[in-house]
Structure 1
Amino acid sequence: MLLAPLADGGLMSGQWGGVRWIYAFTDEAALARFAHARGAADREWDYLAILGARLADAVVPSLEGPTGIAVDVADEDGGMLFPPVAGIVPDAVAVTV
């Protein structure tokens, strides 16, 4: 189960390298580190608890453009990127590299 913060009526994401990255976290502590890194630790963060497979298989295909999943991005040693490539996202929305 991942925690995906909500913002502006949807899942919080960022752009990098021509890819939209959905932010997701393995636990509330990892989300809190992200909030602190953004200078927003003093506010309440709403989030959706969702299976990682559901993010990759259902949410990513519903969005426009290349979309990957960034997990625990505030953790220097534990962060992971799941790019929009075959084997991670459905082939229909995967980009070729």
Structure 2
Amino acid sequence: MTAHVRGGLPVGDGAALVDRMAERRAGVGDPGALVGELRRALVLVPYDRGGLWTAEFGGIRWVCGFTDEAALARFAEERAVVEGAEVGAASRSWEYAVFRGARLLDEVIPAMGVPAGVAVNVADPDGAMLFPPVVGIVPDGVAVDADADVPGGGRAL
């Protein structure tokens, strides 16, 4: 059985973001192009108890986002197992919001009031990517490294 996901907006093709993430995981590709692709992409973010689904890890609040309904369904199936359902069984329907990545990074993350980033496709161990709250990804005012100096001058990216 497949997990049920329900949204209210049309979903764009997340293939370009998935491709950029695969490049970076392979040690190639441009980090700036990856962030740019996230900013352009439509990201599905499931709801949890009336708010966006987040998880805390390493002192960072991570908004869990997905590149398409299939990636969200894999996450829903993993959550069903954690919640006690059989493998492959959906424990509930999952509603989600669709955000442009730029809105997540520029508006949602700063509004959280705590260090926060975006975790994309977290149910895909070979395809997940974290976008931490650092300069070059989130606005400087909420970046955890905004005051950090980089050896040789400049700022961290």
TM-score, length-normalised on structure 1?
Answer: 0.95
Identity rate, percent = 57
**Pair 1:68 & 2:117 matched:** yes
After TM superposition, which residue ranges in structure 1, 4 or more long, deviate above 6 angstroms? Answer: none
Gaps of 5+ in 1: none
- The structure in which a higher percent of residues are strand is 1
Whole-angstrom CA distance in 2 between matches of 1:51 and 1:77: 23
**Which AA in structure 1 matches 2:96?**
Y
Partner of 1:23: 64
The 5-angstrom pairing of residues 3-18 of structure 1 reads 3-18=44-59
Number of corresponding residues: 97
Structure number with bigger Rg: 2
Q: Deviations over 1:1-48 (max 9, x none)?
A: 010001122111000000000000000000010011112623110100
Whole-angstrom CA distance in 2 between matches of 1:63 and 1:46: 20
What SS does the corresponding residue of 2:93 show, helix, strand or coil?
Answer: coil
What is the aligned-residue RMSD (CA, Å)? Answer: 1.1
Whole-angstrom CA distance in 2 between matches of 1:64 and 1:38: 26
Whole-angstrom CA distance in 2 between matches of 1:15 and 1:33: 20
- The structure in which a higher percent of residues are helix is 2
**Which AA in structure 1 matches 2:56?**
Q
What SS does the corresponding residue of 1:4 show, helix, strand or coil?
Answer: strand
**Which AA in structure 2 matches 1:5?**
P
Q: Deviations over 1:36-78 (max 9, x none)?
A: 1112623110100111111000100101210000000000111
**Which AA in structure 2 matches 1:8?**
R
